[in-house]
Amino acid sequence: MKIYMFIAHMGIGGAERVAVTLSNEWADLGHEVNIVVLNLDNDIYTDKLRAGVRVHELGVSRLRYSFLPMYKFIRKHKPGFMFVFGNEMAVILSHLRSLHLIDTPIIVRVLNNVNISLAKEDGVSKTVEKYLNRSQKKLSDMEFLIAQCDAMAKQLLRQNLAKESSLKVIYNPVNPDLVAKVRELRLSLSAADEAYREITFIGRIDPQKNPADLIEAYEKLLDKVRERGTGQKIVLRMVGSGNLEDRIRALVKEKGLTDNVIFDGIRQDMENVYATADVVALSSDYEGMPNCLIEAIASGIPVVSYDCPFGPGEIITEANGYLVPMGDTGALAEALYTALNKDWDVDAITASASKFSPKLAASELVDVFKKKSIKSYE
């Protein structure tokens, strides 16, 4: 089968890691995989693709300039369907179809819900907000929608953006190459200092991720450690960057935590990030399906997260971590303390990630492609 995946770029991010995992799985199964991107300016993932996966660059800086290049690409390659990551890119393709320039079915992997994200994102102009809201409504025009979790699917149905007949939940797959490297590294570090503990945050340092709450919870955690006299050295590692980074750095300095909070910026060696993590933590206001939690449990690392929409509630179980009420930094601190000091069953943690199998996700998507393609692959 010829698979055409459309994604804005191959820079840092959970969606990009999912694209790599799926592409490699399909390539291993003998499918011809094509990834279409706007540009490769911030590319960090294409070198992780199998040799047979082709990446096509449209050569534009922004999505709004992609209308004509997309049209030319589709006319030239004549894909049987388009598997699209993200609502906004799907809208561009939908415009091409509404003008009767193409007739290619559009299958969309839905990202975060715009109605949630607009309330928290800084710097969103009214023009952009209107466009994003139109993008959200356009989802109902697509042939098929892929929701990342059950909660997302239910919301799409409630908002009349999808019909049950054209909607399927397919969990994000965990990258098996990454997990294998993490497990190997963690075995070599098993004799590390027991008094040293590391809480790891992975993601954008922006309003969605609510990093100020994590800093506050971390400060309360250090107070607990001092009160209980455990003698532990606990650090918080922040992996990522974003428009709140300067503000969060200032907050850390204000609280006197500069020696305890490590700002790593964007890292490509994620296997080393997970290898030294004792707990992976999230304090997000909302998610799509947080890959850092999935990758952590698949690697045998416990997780702690706010019980936000969407995703954490379908990832975290008693076997692998703790869900905390939204906005309760005291409960977040207590859960982090407990997770750091619990004798976890690593096998049970990794077993809880079985539903995020790349083989399962790749197979379920191929079934959708076959049903929705304008060409027959039987």
CATH number, residue 180? 3.40.50.2000
Query: Is there a single domain that holds both residue 234 and residue 339?
Result: yes
Q: Could you tell me if residue 100 is inside a domain?
A: yes
Query: Is there a single domain that holds both residue 349 and residue 366?
Result: no
Residue 340 has which token pair? 């750091």
Query: Is there a single domain that holds both residue 162 and residue 187?
Result: no
Residue 122 has which token pair? 């800084």
Query: Is there a single domain that holds both residue 272 and residue 322?
Result: yes
Residue 115's pLDDT is 57
Q: Could you tell me if residue 377 is inside a domain?
A: no
pTM of the model: 0.87
Cβ–Cβ < 8 Å for 237, 200: yes
Q: Could you tell me if residue 378 is inside a domain?
A: no
Number of domains in the chain: 2
Query: Is there a single domain that holds both residue 25 and residue 87?
Result: yes
Q: Mean pLDDT of residues grouped by 10 in the chain (378 residues)?
A: 94 86 95 96 88 94 90 94 88 85 91 57 60 70 91 90 92 93 87 80 93 97 87 92 94 95 92 96 92 96 95 96 96 96 95 95 96 66
Residue 193's pLDDT is 64
Residue 133's pLDDT is 67
Query: Is there a single domain that holds both residue 274 and residue 292?
Result: yes
Give the count of beta carbons closer than 10 Å to the beta carbon of residue 2: 16
Query: Is there a single domain that holds both residue 269 and residue 215?
Result: yes
Residue 126's pLDDT is 67
Q: Could you tell me if residue 139 is inside a domain?
A: yes
Residue 377's pLDDT is 39
Q: Could you tell me if residue 12 is inside a domain?
A: yes
Mind giving me the DSSP string for 176-200? HHHHHHHHHHHHHTTTS-TTEEEEE
Residue 116's pLDDT is 55
Per-residue CA distances from 209 to 33, 84, 251, 290, 298 (Å): 32, 24, 15, 11, 22
The domain in which residue 257 lies consists of 176-355
Query: Is there a single domain that holds both residue 142 and residue 25?
Result: yes
